[in-house]
Structure 1
Amino acid sequence: MRFKLLFILLFIALNSYGQQIEQADKYFLYFKTWNFIKYYHPNLALGRIDADSLFFNYLTEIESTKDKKTLNKSLSKLLKQFPASHNTDIEVNNASEVLINNLDFNWFLKNPQITNRNKKAYLEILENRYTQPVHHYVPKLRYESEVPNERVYDFADKETIPLEFRLLALAKMQGAVDYLYPHKYLMEQSFDSVLKPAITSMVKCKSMLEYELLLLKLVASLQDTHSFGFFKQLKHRRDIFKNSFYPPFAYQIFEDGILVTDIIVPETCRISDIQKGDFITAIDRRSVEHRIGDLSSLLSASNHQALLHRLSYYAENLIWNLDNKQVDVEIVRDSIKTSKSVPFIEIGDSDALKPVNAYLASTQKKKSSSDDLTILNNDIAYFKISDTFRFIENVADEKVETHMDSIFAQARQQKGIIFDMRGYPDWGGFAYTYLIKNFGSTPHLYAKYYELNKEKIGTYVHNQDINTYYNADINIKNTPYNGKVVIIVNSETLSQSEWNTMNLQHLFPNAIRMGEQSAGADGDLKILNLPGKYQLNFTGNAIFYNDGSEAQRAGVKIDIPLMTPKEYIINKQDYMLKKAIEAIEE
């Protein structure tokens, strides 16, 4: 009986060893293995072996595998090329805090498709991994954007991209998410679960348009506002978004519709009976809510507010999805729903586009030419983060410090200060040096900045270097400000602007924090080359508040959430600034 049982178990084991393996699974494991070696083995980390060449060299063999046995044989051959280097410098980092949320080796440790012998080989590489500060495929400095030594493959004149390069694109994206993207664990769907069906689709892909669409969907799954603009590089973006027809009116997107905010072509709008304040709920009989849902699978945004805000950019024209210029819209006006037919403007019609171009020119944000402090209501200092370079633009270098000290001395005399963070900083020194010098106190580690841990790539180490947070060479005055402070944010508060906002919130702990949810993409930008001459932008460092709360996706902290009423939008009135002034005047 015992012999019979052993025979059955042996039969099951042998049958399992020879079982068929799905195409997506074998490529998936190959991608995982290649990236594992790329980031952990010294021969690739030091640039002795080119990672892309290695990928292509073994790809044909992986393609030919049919079952668990042949796949493990091919993986074993690959792993034997990279024996453990017996590194004695493991874990020398004495950092008190390391983020390990992303680290997950269950793809081989708990994978029944991987043999124990191969699992042991993976573990030997991991235990003897490369740990030095300079890595061939990792930015040398924490704030450097370009992921180094990633080749550019240009297929500009091709109708499609060869399969091996399409697969390389997927492998590179998987490596970036696993080892360089600190917020992998915040994704609503695991990247692995998104990638596997994408592999199958990528193998079947027959055109450049299909390739770009697959990349677009994968990038969207990152849910990172830093990645939002990926679509701008696509050669077939107009085919994907069907955005070749522009409306004769300006608009702003809401969750349940589109508000007409301005008239661009008056005669067209008059004939079509479109007015400012109309609220469009459907486009060609499809609800706006459904269209926003469709776009959320194509555009990367850290939070829903970031998506809605960026869909409102008229120049990008992403919301409409039109096959022809005549558009049927359902509108609500004075609580009455009606249907209208509106001719849109074709992008190739240069004459018809003239009012569109004039409108876009009129919306360009104008900066002040004065180097003086802006005073509102006679006693409120106002700083706009996207318009601070003007303070020093025409000031001699040797006089900058004195001039900035005088600006902040004047601000101190006011009963309140408003910091408007709705925009991107045009001068880093404003917050990094002079704001802290005049209003700060030491120590001033206002957030927790985690950078890539070179000793175990895929984890992130808490950076406590003072110069990461502010200019350590300045003499901070340690003089408190007793007036009221209001900080305004919205979805234009992105990346460095969010970082500076966290700085302000720490400088002024009693400040009133108001506005809309910010972009939720704090941390230095990284840029990865992908085959086809595309570049993937993503957040490369992790930022937390000192209490451990997330800044990524959630955005900066707000005390008073504000949503600008529609009448203020239509009348071009700054509701948030109005509320900020009221908060100080109370």
Structure 2
Amino acid sequence: MKKTDSERKSDVNVAGNEQFEIPEIIIPLSTDLNLKEDTFLINNLELLGKIWGFLKYHHPEIASGKYDWDNELFQFMPEYLKIKEIGQRDETLLNWIEKYGEISPCATCRETSAQAYLKPDFLWVEKGQMSIDLKKKIMEIYRNRYQGPGSHYIRMVRQIGNPEFLNEKSYPSTFLNTSCRLLALFRYWNIVQYFYPYKYLTEKNWDEVLKIYIPSFILSKTELDYQLSVLQLTSEINDTHAAHLQGAMKVDSLRGDMQAPFRVQFIENKLVVTYYYDSELKGMAGLEVGDFITHVNGKKIEYIIDSIKSYYPASNEEVRKMNLANDLVRSNSNTIHIDYNSSGIKKQKELTLYNRNSLDMRDKLDFFAGKKTSYDSILIENDSSFIGYITLKTIREHEIENIKKAFNHSKGIIIDIRNYPSTFVPFLLGTYFVSKDVPFAKFTLGEINNPGEFNFIPMENKIPKSKEPYKGILVVIVNEKTISQAEYTAMAFRAGDNTVILGSQTAGADGNVSYINLPGGLQTMFSGIGVYYPDGGETQRIGIVPDIKVKPTIKGIREGRDELLEKAIEIIKNDSKWNEIKRRQSKPMFFL
């Protein structure tokens, strides 16, 4: 068929040994979005995206992989975009659906369990402005939906249960193609719609998100525009696991190759210098540890944060600020102009930046930096007892029995999870702190045969009792760096007989991750299973709420102190303080 410039300009994409054409389409959407035609077009594309995704996971002929469903969308859109009125639209959609064959009655399709934690959401059908016949067709397909061990597009990871998304092409060469950009939006929205266990926790109503993002995906003019749109879209699920968008090289280039010679962190709501990557650079920079920056290139830090925070996916604001902090002193220029406060004195400086590859940007605020083991003893002055300290950052399985022997007679143990554990220890080490079997978590899993349904699995996760449980105090330190497996581990330790959690709000992203490939060679991820306390209490977005809330202070940073570690030691040393904590822990919602 002869192609017109407006409808059929194509890219040739290569996926493995397969070559196929991806039609480029011109969508007449105005930039101000105020025209009646704009509203009609956006509404039509929203409905197309929802029906396309519904069919992908429900229609027996499509979910089984008999059709290249991406390509079916590409071929259908030129005709669909010619539609001028709603009746014509609904008839066109019905004809499109019927093209894929009659739906046979399904003998194994069950109704959604009344006890389901989350149920499939079809409000978009029930309340949607579409014909009765189209609604009936959608629900007919749902009642007779695909049933099988796994569809062409998804399976659940064995022995874990998080979704694995299959046969999703990345189309690395077609980032400027409008068809592929819309495909990216449709694919991501529907994956979240049917397989994200925390969809109900998003700040925006997920049903509305697809419509909101159609303009930005259509109007993206460059690869950078597209990658920024994807970042904003993934931010809408409020999941710290989505923080890193792999393949977004244009975004990384925009943020800059040059970096301040020091790390900054938000402390007491100030952007504070916490340490230098190389102490030899301090003299030229001139800022002291504990100084805080108020402006960069004449703009207030608060203003900059407001302008960029939507590009930093996060479960909560604490972890968002942690993730963006050092990008505030990053640039493509060799210098940035900063206003800062040094011991109460306001100063300005043209700060020299350094190539990021030349800086050792690893975290240096580590009690155990450079030590050969993950554990050590802290002596208590004027006392014959001692405190054990363990960092999970470097812990190894073979050390656990040694730790138990070394710390069996200690007054208390501190476990530091301001990091990501190097070994999975909830059961290996967690059992040391319980005198009876204790449930500490339960999970929800999605259903391939009824997309959108999530149920608690029957078996709770339990810490098995120890033959010789630890008798002392356990203090677990957490903060915004505590994410995913680290949060799950903190939940396990919380089940201990004499445990207190100390620190600040964690990342709020628990559950094994699932990866999503998107056009343009991008890959993102989200929390793939729901993780809850045994009573159903939330962990997502909230994180592990500490019993004792302690945060670093600017004064403590200036003095080179680890205030959270100091507080943990104080609790173990002071018997009266520990007794007060135990008394308060027996009451609901204990905080100190």
Q: TM-score with structure 2 length normalisation?
A: 0.82
| Rounded Cα–Cα distance in structure 1 between residues aligned with 2:67 and 2:438 | 44
The range that moved more, 127-136 or 574-583, is 127-136
Seen in structure 2, the aligned counterparts of structure 1 residues 476 and 532 have a Cα distance that, compared at 3 Å, is: same
2:246 is the counterpart of 1:258: no
Give 2:80's match in structure 1, choosing from 62, 83, 89: 62
* 2:338–2:351 CA contact under 8 A, matched in 1: yes
Seen in structure 2, the aligned counterparts of structure 1 residues 507 and 539 have a Cα distance that, compared at 3 Å, is: same
In the other structure, the counterpart of 2:421 is 425
In the other structure, the counterpart of 2:410 is 414
Seen in structure 2, the aligned counterparts of structure 1 residues 523 and 265 have a Cα distance that, compared at 3 Å, is: closer
In the other structure, the counterpart of 1:374 is 376
Seen in structure 2, the aligned counterparts of structure 1 residues 221 and 582 have a Cα distance that, compared at 3 Å, is: same
In the other structure, the counterpart of 2:458 is 464
The range that moved more, 291-300 or 265-274, is 265-274
In the other structure, the counterpart of 1:395 is none
For residue 572 of structure 2, what is the amino acid of its counterpart?
I
| CA RMSD across the alignment | 2.9
User: 3-state SS of the aligned residue for 1:504?
Assistant: helix
Q: Deviations over 1:184-230 (max 9, x none)?
A: 22111223433324212222222211111111111122211001111
The alpha-carbon deviation at position 363 of structure 1 amounts to 7.4
Q: Deviations over 1:28-61 (max 9, x none)?
A: 1111001111112222332233322332232222
The alpha-carbon deviation at position 82 of structure 1 amounts to 5.0
| Structure 1 segment 194-343 matched on structure 2, within 5 A | 194-230=209-245, 233-241=247-255, 243-254=256-267, 256-263=269-276, 270=283, 273-312=286-325, 317-320=326-329, 322=331, 324-343=333-352
Give 1:488's match in structure 2, choosing from 472, 477, 482: 477
The alpha-carbon deviation at position 572 of structure 1 amounts to 3.9
Seen in structure 2, the aligned counterparts of structure 1 residues 24 and 93 have a Cα distance that, compared at 3 Å, is: closer
Seen in structure 2, the aligned counterparts of structure 1 residues 124 and 361 have a Cα distance that, compared at 3 Å, is: closer
The alpha-carbon deviation at position 409 of structure 1 amounts to 4.5
In the other structure, the counterpart of 1:396 is none
2:133 is the counterpart of 1:117: yes
| Rounded Cα–Cα distance in structure 1 between residues aligned with 2:178 and 2:226 | 10
| Rounded Cα–Cα distance in structure 1 between residues aligned with 2:139 and 2:563 | 58
The range that moved more, 30-39 or 188-197, is 188-197
| Structure 1 segment 167-178 matched on structure 2, within 5 A | 167-178=182-193
What percent of counterpart residues are identical? 28
Seen in structure 2, the aligned counterparts of structure 1 residues 135 and 374 have a Cα distance that, compared at 3 Å, is: farther
Give 1:136's match in structure 2, choosing from 152, 155, 160: 152
Higher helix share: 1
In the other structure, the counterpart of 1:584 is 572
| Structure 1 segment 151-190 matched on structure 2, within 5 A | 151-155=169-173, 160-190=175-205
The alpha-carbon deviation at position 83 of structure 1 amounts to 3.7
For residue 195 of structure 2, what is the amino acid of its counterpart?
L
2:549 is the counterpart of 1:556: no
| Rounded Cα–Cα distance in structure 1 between residues aligned with 2:132 and 2:539 | 41
* 1:254–1:308 CA contact under 8 A, matched in 2: no
Seen in structure 2, the aligned counterparts of structure 1 residues 331 and 532 have a Cα distance that, compared at 3 Å, is: same
2:81 is the counterpart of 1:85: no
| Rounded Cα–Cα distance in structure 1 between residues aligned with 2:283 and 2:485 | 43
2:499 is the counterpart of 1:507: no
| Rounded Cα–Cα distance in structure 1 between residues aligned with 2:236 and 2:551 | 27
* 1:213–1:240 CA contact under 8 A, matched in 2: no
The alpha-carbon deviation at position 279 of structure 1 amounts to 1.3
Seen in structure 2, the aligned counterparts of structure 1 residues 83 and 319 have a Cα distance that, compared at 3 Å, is: farther
User: 3-state SS of the aligned residue for 1:431?
Assistant: coil
| Rounded Cα–Cα distance in structure 2 between residues aligned with 1:23 and 1:121 | 23
In the other structure, the counterpart of 2:124 is 107
| Rounded Cα–Cα distance in structure 1 between residues aligned with 2:449 and 2:493 | 33
| Rounded Cα–Cα distance in structure 2 between residues aligned with 1:448 and 1:258 | 38
Seen in structure 2, the aligned counterparts of structure 1 residues 443 and 206 have a Cα distance that, compared at 3 Å, is: same
| Rounded Cα–Cα distance in structure 1 between residues aligned with 2:362 and 2:420 | 19
* 2:261–2:285 CA contact under 8 A, matched in 1: no
| Rounded Cα–Cα distance in structure 2 between residues aligned with 1:145 and 1:104 | 18
* 1:368–1:390 CA contact under 8 A, matched in 2: no
The alpha-carbon deviation at position 390 of structure 1 amounts to 6.0
User: 3-state SS of the aligned residue for 1:64?
Assistant: coil
* 1:145–1:524 CA contact under 8 A, matched in 2: no
| Rounded Cα–Cα distance in structure 2 between residues aligned with 1:260 and 1:172 | 41
For residue 234 of structure 1, what is the amino acid of its counterpart?
A
| Rounded Cα–Cα distance in structure 1 between residues aligned with 2:362 and 2:394 | 20
Give 1:545's match in structure 2, choosing from 533, 546, 559: 533
The alpha-carbon deviation at position 287 of structure 1 amounts to 1.0
In the other structure, the counterpart of 2:63 is 45
* 1:21–1:67 CA contact under 8 A, matched in 2: no
| Rounded Cα–Cα distance in structure 2 between residues aligned with 1:64 and 1:93 | 38
| Rounded Cα–Cα distance in structure 1 between residues aligned with 2:387 and 2:505 | 25
* 2:231–2:312 CA contact under 8 A, matched in 1: yes
In the other structure, the counterpart of 1:11 is none
Seen in structure 2, the aligned counterparts of structure 1 residues 139 and 68 have a Cα distance that, compared at 3 Å, is: same
Seen in structure 2, the aligned counterparts of structure 1 residues 521 and 170 have a Cα distance that, compared at 3 Å, is: same
User: 3-state SS of the aligned residue for 2:337?
Assistant: strand
The alpha-carbon deviation at position 361 of structure 1 amounts to 9.0
Structure 1: give runs of 5+ residues left out of the alignment. Answer: 1-18, 348-352, 393-403
